[in-house]
Every structure is written in structure tokens, then in C-alpha cells.
Chain A
Amino acid sequence: MIDTGSTGGAVRLRPPRHRVSRRALPWWGCRAVGEVLVVLAGMLLAAWWFSLWRELFLPLLVVAVLGCCYVVVMPWWRYRVHRWETTESAVYTASGWISREWRVAPMSRIQTVDTARGPLQRVFGLSSVTVTTASAAGPLSIDGLDHRVAAELAELLTRTTQATPGDAT
């Protein structure tokens, strides 16, 4: 499914082994609905304020249709892409939907492991695990994990990184 190169090379990166929780689907869906509603509300407000109903009708329709597609398609697509895996030596994540990103960080270079739960994530019983390294390229983050799985993962990572020597740079 995830293919990092289509020109017949001999090696490729396989997708990480674990999927995120299925409850991430409604979570992503809710977020998408929120985003689309914000855009629509802005346009409606503009149409009402400047009384531009006729001019903005078509754009509103287009945004509404595209928004519906986005809400329906994006969570499934993300669910197919978002994956994670840990081994004794490294953390491996895949994320994105249209554009994709794969991140690998060795255990010996991990600085902190955090779990975070936003209000919406809490509703669906989800958690995010964020793994920081010393790099300015940003942390690895696994969103939409079942909160128990996330807690276990964070604990496992913390234990493993503590056992691994090195100053993380």
C-alpha cells in the first residue's frame, strides 16, 4: 500500500505494523466537520454582511460539496495511511493522506515521550503520543491511539530510552 518508489528498485520501506484505533475515524471526521463549518460560516457571514448572496452562491455550493467529500474521504484515507511501529531499536511512524510522511527515530536518540489528550480526543477515548528528539525537525507524533495503548506505548518507550545509553544528540 505504501510505496516509496515505483521504479523497480530492489528495496522499499514497508508500512509500519500497527494501525491506529478505529475510533480515530470519527475523531478525524469531527475535526473535518469543524474545519468545513468554520469556512462555511465565514463565507455565510460575508454573504450576509455585504449582501452578496447571488455572487457567493456558487462558491458556497462548491465549498459545501468539497467539504462533504473531505469529511467523508479524509478520515478513511488517513486511517489507511496512519500507522506506527516500535522495535527495540527504533520508532517508526507513517502519517498524512494526500502527502505522506514517514519518520524513523532510533531509541538512543529519543529525548522525551509525552502523551496528550485534547477534549475531542477524550470524547473518543484517544490519545496522542509525541516523541521528541534533539532535532529541530519536529517530534514524531502518533495521533489517534486508543488511550490505553498510548499509555502502554509511552511507558514502553520511556523504559527503553532510559535503558539505552547516549546523550541523545
Chain B
Amino acid sequence: MSGSETDRVEHEEHPGRQDLSCWQRLSPRSVLASSGMLAVPLLTALVLRVSTSEDPTRGLFEAAGLLAVAVLVVASAWWRWFFTRFRVTEQRFELRQGNVARSFRSIPRERIRSVDLTAPVLHRVLGLSVVRIGTGQRSEGDSELRLDALSTPRAELLRELLLRKEPATSDTEGRGAAPRTETRSGVELAAMRPSWYGYSTLTASLLLVTWTALASALSSLSDLLRAFGATSWVLERLPHTTEQALSGGALWVGVLVLLGVLLLGGWLGALVISVEMWWGFRLTLENEHTLRVRRGLLTTRAVSLEKRRLRGVELAEPLLLRAARGGRLGAVATGLESGASASGDNKALLPPAPRRVATRIGAEVLDGRVGFPPGERLRGHPRAALRRRMARAGLVVGGVLAAGTTAPLLGPLPWWFPPVTAALVAVPAVLFARDAYRSLGHALCGEFLVTRWGTGVRRTVLLQRDAIIGWRLRQSPLQRLSGVLTLAATTAAGNGCYAIRDVDGARGVEFAERAVPGLLAPFLERRDSEDTTPTGGERTAPSGE
């Protein structure tokens, strides 16, 4: 920005007024918030260094180094704050950042698809919220604008302003200032129930997270203990107790107890994580157009989703959760980034909950345009799909058998080892294959396309037929042999592509044509016999071969 422009910015800034059409700064407290995350551990390290160091001069040097880093962190946070400005004009949202490496981004307001508020712990203490503005443009590398951070009321105001969808042209200048009352009152569609935390712990990934966290915590704890010379104290006493335990022939008991502790610890940890994630969960219908999800105990998250961007829903049922008749409901929407781990969970519409609730809410957010679950009406896939899955299971068993037969080369093993391990693997492999086949299904339900697949995580996706922006058909040589193919509807929402796996070739094509009439029609031809030479139908010319 040029000098005169900067002056204008300073001039136009009204700290007291909440008019967002002038250039605005982030909250000054954001300097504290963003530097605090780094500065606090640094300062702790500093104090520890100074107090524990034996050589005073060395300790002082180290302290000075740490202090310099802390100052640098704060200074860079301040620098970032000082040169970040944004404004909301009638047509566009504009963001300036940086001074040395400047960036200016301006996006049309109608392209804004989502505005999410997040408040990590420190931000919450300071009354701040991070605002993420999603545009849903995948072609640009960095499609998300991030304001870190605004004071929470201003963040709310900005969110309301950006997501309000009147025709922007006919409106007046200072509508940012007008507080709106009707958006405050939301219709609550769902709220957290205590029993749902239990469902949430059945997600295997949470167990894994707690185990890794526990392991790293234990290792750092042992480091700490060793530092304080406590290990030797423990080790002195440990042999007696373990010897006693083992001499009692209680090795198996010990192993069982350890397993139990691991499982229980993992479960408790998962419970803690799920409470943090889902505390105070509320799904509300803010006005006619916007859904809002609020949740979080320490870090609060608020995700807004415009209804016209909601192109479908996805019900995910991981194995354990499925066994408990639970499911996780997610949105299939444009403008919600998928894949990125940081914002990967922002498509959640419900925590893991009873399937019944998930399906009811699913039908409700889609305005009851479809009966959900459509499970009974799904069309199954040809037997070839089952054969393919069984063949895969066979491959796995064969691999185990091969590994088992080569294992004796490395060491002595009883003769029955390979067949027994193979048999042990075969049973679940076949069961999984059968389940995977039974999960397969697809259908057209009113204005939605439904597809279901998967066994480890069974997913049922309802995708609006309007949202389909093309087809992708794939056929591997083996699929070709058994006359099936994988038909995928491409879409701008969600994953970008939802596949119907191993569907019968002719039926799949027919299905695609029924789902989006007219799109495939010019490329189809009628075929009455089994011969494979293309013959011109009434709508198609010979293909020039």
C-alpha cells in the first residue's frame, strides 16, 4: 500500500464504531494470544534455566538467548497485527497483510461459503476468536482467509455480515452497523446428550490418539523422574515387587491387568478427548438459510453452513460404532475444505450418536426432502462384486500362508504354524469380504443419489442430483472381465467425487443417465445383442471406426 493510502487507513479507522466497511485492524489482544502460545513455554524454560543452572554466567547467556527469542516472537506477532487490515465493502471482502512481503486479497462476498469461529484456550481467556473465511475455490492454492484474531463480539458481527445474503447491490452503505435480532434466535435441531460421549469413545482413532499421547507423556515423565534422580529410587524397590509378583505365577494375571489398564486408559482418554471436542454441542438453524454447529470445552468451535451449500449428508459408521448402532453425520457441502487435518472435522453435523438420531437429523437438515435412511431401498450390486471381494480376502490369506511357509527359514516353527495362522486370518477376511459386499448399494431417492460402501467404516452418502457436475467411469482389466465398473459422480461438494463401486456396466450407465437425465444420453447407444461392434442408435452416429 502506498503512503497516502496508509494515511487514509489511519484516518478512516474508528475504534469505537463497529462499521466494518472501513479498514479494520485485528484486536490488539491478538498479539498477546498469538505470542502467548510460544512465549509462555519460553519464559518457563527461561526460569528453569536460570534457577537450575550450575554455572551462573552460562545460565545467564542461555537466559539472554531465550529472552531474545521471546522478544522476537512478540515483536513478530505485533508486526503481523500492525500490518493486517481487513474491510467488508458492499461487494467484496478485502484483506491486507504484511509489510515486507505484502499480500492483498480481495474476494467477492457472494463467493464466501463459510465463516467459522474458533477460540483456543488462550484466545478464549482473552475474549478472542479466530475467524476463518472459506471460499470453496479449489483452483486457488490457499482458499481460506484467516483472521487471527478478533474480539468475539466483532467476530460474530463479521460472521453475520458476511453470511447475510441479500442482494448486495440494492443495499445501503452502513449495514454493518445495524445489529440484527432475528439471527440471535436459532431453532435448535440437536444438542449434546451425555450418553453420546459413550458413542464418541467408540471411534477407534480416538483410542489411538490417547495411546500415543499416553506413551509420549510416560516417556517424558520418565525423563523428568530420571532428571530428579527418582528412577534409581524406584528401581531399588521395583525388583522386590516384580519378583514377588512373578514368583506367585501371576505372569498371566499381570499381562491381563496390563491389557485391561491399557484398554481402560485408552477408553478414558478417548472419553476426555470426546468431552473436549463435543462439550456443549448444539446444532441450530439460525435463520432459514444457515445451519450452525457450536461445540468444544476448551477450544470452542462454531461452524456456519449455508443451506444452499449443503448438497447432501454422509453417515459414517465405523465398525465399533456400527456394532453399537451408532453413526456419525457429516455434511456434504461446497466450501468446506476436506482432507486438511486441521479443519477436517468441520463437516461434522452431529457427534457420534445413535443411528436413529443421526438419520432423523440427516432428514431434517435436508428439509425432509428424503426419507433417511434409505437403506431398505438400496439396490445391491452384482455377484461379481462379491467374487472380487472374496478374491481379495483370498489374496490376503494366501499372503499369510506364503509368509508362514517361508518363516521356518528364519527359525524353527512347528509344522502347523502356517495353516493355523492362515485359517485364523481367513475367518475374519471372509467375514469382512461378505460385509463389504453387503454394504454396497446405490439408489435414487427423489432428488438425491444414494451410495453406500465400506466395511471398516461404512459410509452412506446422499448427494443432491443437481450437485453432480460430471461422471467418471473406471474399469480395471479384472472389472472388465466380470462386466462391472466403478461409477463416480463428481461434484464440487465434499470429497469431490462419490463412487458407486463394482456396479454392473449396463445398469450403471443406465443409473447414471436416470440420475442426471440428458448428460450421458448423447453418448449412449442401444444394444440388443451381445456383439461388441458399435452400432449407431437413433440418437448417435457411427463412431467412425
Residues of A near any B CB (own CB < 8 A): 1, 3-18, 85, 87, 89-90, 92, 98-106, 109, 111-112, 132-137, 140, 168-169
Residues of B near any A CB (own CB < 8 A): 136, 138-139, 334, 338, 382, 467, 469-477, 480, 483-485, 488, 490-493, 495-497, 504-510, 513, 518-520, 522-530, 532, 534, 540-541, 543-545
Q: Max chain B CB contacts within 10 Å: which of A8, A89, A111, A137?
A: A137
Q: A7-B483, A87-B522 are in contact. Are A104 and B534 (CB under 8 A)?
A: no
Bound: A106/B446 CA distance, A: 22
Query: Nearest residue in B to A8 (C-beta to C-beta)?
Result: B530
Known: A5-B508, A99-B474, A133-B470. 10 other contacts (CB 8 A): A1-B532, A5-B483, A5-B509, A9-B509, A89-B518, A92-B522, A98-B477, A112-B139, A135-B490, A169-B493
Bound: A18/B467 CA distance, A: 29
Contact of B505 among A7, A17, A106, A169 (CB under 8 A): A7
Is A106 in contact with B469, judged by CB distance below 8 angstroms?
A: yes
Q: Which residues of the partner chain B approach A10 to less than 8 Å between Cβ atoms?
A: 506, 510, 526-528
Closest CB of chain A to B488's CB: distance in Å? 7
Query: Nearest residue in B to A106 (C-beta to C-beta)?
Result: B519
Q: A4-B485, A9-B506, A134-B492 are in contact. Are A169 and B334 (CB under 8 A)?
A: yes
Is A135 in contact with B505, judged by CB distance below 8 angstroms?
A: no
Is A17 in contact with B469, judged by CB distance below 8 angstroms?
A: no
Is A17 in contact with B544, judged by CB distance below 8 angstroms?
A: yes
Q: A137-B488, A169-B334 are in contact. Are A12 and B505 (CB under 8 A)?
A: yes
Is B519 in contact with A104, judged by CB distance below 8 angstroms?
A: yes
Bound: A4/B482 CA distance, A: 11
Is A15 in contact with B505, judged by CB distance below 8 angstroms?
A: no
Query: Nearest residue in B to A131 (C-beta to C-beta)?
Result: B470
Q: A101-B472, A132-B139, A133-B490 are in contact. Are A11 and B523 (CB under 8 A)?
A: no
Is A9 in contact with B504, judged by CB distance below 8 angstroms?
A: yes
Q: A5-B485, A12-B527, A104-B523 are in contact. Are A133 and B505 (CB under 8 A)?
A: no
Is A105 in contact with B473, judged by CB distance below 8 angstroms?
A: no
Q: Which residues of the partner chain B approach A104 to less than 8 Å between Cβ atoms?
A: 470-471, 519-520, 523
Bound: A168/B490 CA distance, A: 12
Q: Which residues of the partner chain B approach A168 to less than 8 Å between Cβ atoms?
A: 469, 492
Bound: A143/B472 CA distance, A: 17
Is A102 in contact with B472, judged by CB distance below 8 angstroms?
A: yes
Contact of B473 among A8, A87, A102, A111 (CB under 8 A): A102
Q: Which residues of the partner chain A approach B475 to less than 8 Å between Cβ atoms?
A: 4, 99-101
25 A–B pairs (Cβ distance < 8 Å), ordered by A: A3-B505, A3-B532, A4-B473, A5-B505, A6-B483, A9-B504, A9-B510, A9-B527, A11-B526, A11-B527, A12-B527, A15-B543, A16-B543, A92-B522, A99-B475, A102-B471, A102-B472, A103-B470, A104-B520, A105-B490, A133-B490, A134-B492, A135-B497, A168-B469, A168-B492
Give 9 closest A-B pairs by Cβ, nearest first: A5-B505, A9-B506, A136-B496, A134-B492, A137-B497, A109-B469, A105-B470, A135-B490, A5-B506
